[in-house]
A = this chain, B = another copy of it.
């Protein structure tokens, strides 16, 4: 009985501490009360407090530092204080993603905030009224049995339409190979979970889409970040080295219009990437959500060169047609059954009317016309954003030349800190995406992702000028 009371005692205390950490009473990197102080204030034994701390440490919430005490586990902000280390020779890291990502995501929901930090293009660019009509027609006509039959892997019609788009991009596939998901993020997460298990090592780009960092953290994987060139993408030499040094099970990469850099791997390099991974039996989760947004000739995705079924290609309609419908898909190669089952086990199916509505839109035609218009908007906005940055930002600022999509990447001059700029910009109602949200390392302190996926107007013009001024003040 006594043991049981003790056990419930330290568990209650751990829950209380956890709630305080979650509620923000103690922040990442902060020191927690000493066992003695806490024991006194709670009328508990030191042993009980230690057990509570240890259980939180086991769960990754608290860090025990020898001869120093208990700390809220360091997130990105804390990690940045570490000394600079060599690329790719880093040991695989247990990743803890910053609250920062969530705060950046939160800001962009406020229409009053200038959405330069947004991860989404403007909803105004999408054919939502036409989609609403197609959705209405599909829903009215829908055979009630579809609600059972369209469970994972998804609507037959939509999978046919997706297979057709693949054909246009140089990938020959059958509808049976496609699994429909609730957006690409679900597809990516299901694919990663199907090829790697807790403790496994995966390769990410550096910088990487923060969703990949979060997935790695959530699944308890270890990550190796590999240098990524702003123009040609991932460094294959470093990748090869990483695979030789670590037991890499999978990569999560964006060979096309990489987020945040905008890098686009040339065709020959994509082919070489697939060959390299196949040689080592490493799976590739290919995030290709910007497949339809390239300004030039489309390059086939890595999936086009996949002979062994090791590439799990993920796409979405959210960035090119129907934001908010949450319809994406994947082509999981040899892991299809595992992905299909993972989908059945976690969300059963993707919203049936949303699937049928998009299938109806694609059947009716007009998607390519819409895409041409969308890309033209993005290209025009990118040029204007670039000009405004070059005019207003401090000398030495480097600006990417996007070949598609709606992100521009900036490298601020040495010494100008993107996090400081972010904090000052937020106060003036301007959101930006600072470099540190794209890595678990201490890199990209001077990196900045700006969104050119919103109509360019006076407000944008002014916001960029204001940002430039804030950055110059930090120079």
Contact = CB atoms under 8 A, between A and B. Distances in A.
B123 A145 contact: yes
A132 B140 contact: yes
A142 B132 contact: yes
A401 to B, nearest CB: 27
Nearest to A197: B59
Interface string A265-295: 0000000000000011100000000000000
Contacts of A198: 198, 220
A371 interface: no
A381 interface: no
A109 B150 CA distance: 9
A68 interface: no
Contact of A136 (B105, B132, B281): B132
A185 interface: yes
Interface string A115-153: 000101001101011011101100110101111111100
Interface in A239-270: 244, 247
A456 interface: no
A183 B348 contact: yes
A29 to B, nearest CB: 19
B346 A189 contact: yes
Interface in A345-367: 345-354, 357
Interface residues of A, number: 79
Interface string A152-187: 000000000000000000000000000000110110
A183 B348 CA distance: 8
A350 B326 contact: yes
Interface stretch (A69-77, A210-218, A382-390, A436-444): A210-218
A219 to B, nearest CB: 9
A345 B218 contact: yes
A136 B140 contact: yes
Contact of A281 (B8, B151, B220, B244): B8
A455 interface: no
B149 A128 contact: no
A15 interface: yes
B129 A140 contact: yes
A464 to B, nearest CB: 21
Contacts of A12: 281
Given A132-B139, A182-B347, A124 B109 contact: no
Most buried by B among A120, A132, A244, A353: A353
Given A132-B139, A183-B348, A326-B347, 6 more contacts: A15-B281, A118-B148, A128-B142, A186-B346, A324-B352, A324-B353
Interface of A: 4, 7-8, 11-12, 14-15, 19, 22, 59-60, 102, 105, 108-109, 111, 118, 120, 123-124, 126, 128-129, 131-133, 135-136, 139-140, 142, 144-151, 182-183, 185-186, 189, 193, 197-198, 211, 214-215, 218, 220, 244, 247, 279-281, 323-327, 334, 337-338, 341-342, 344-354, 357
30 contacts: A7-B280, A11-B281, A15-B281, A19-B334, A59-B197, A105-B151, A109-B148, A109-B149, A128-B142, A128-B144, A132-B140, A132-B353, A135-B136, A136-B136, A147-B324, A148-B323, A182-B182, A185-B347, A189-B345, A211-B345, A324-B351, A325-B351, A326-B347, A346-B346, A347-B347, A351-B351, A351-B353, A351-B354, A353-B354, A354-B354
- A-B pairs, top 10 by smallest CB distance, nearest first, are A147-B324, A136-B136, A123-B144, A324-B352, A132-B139, A351-B351, A11-B281, A147-B323, A186-B347, A351-B354
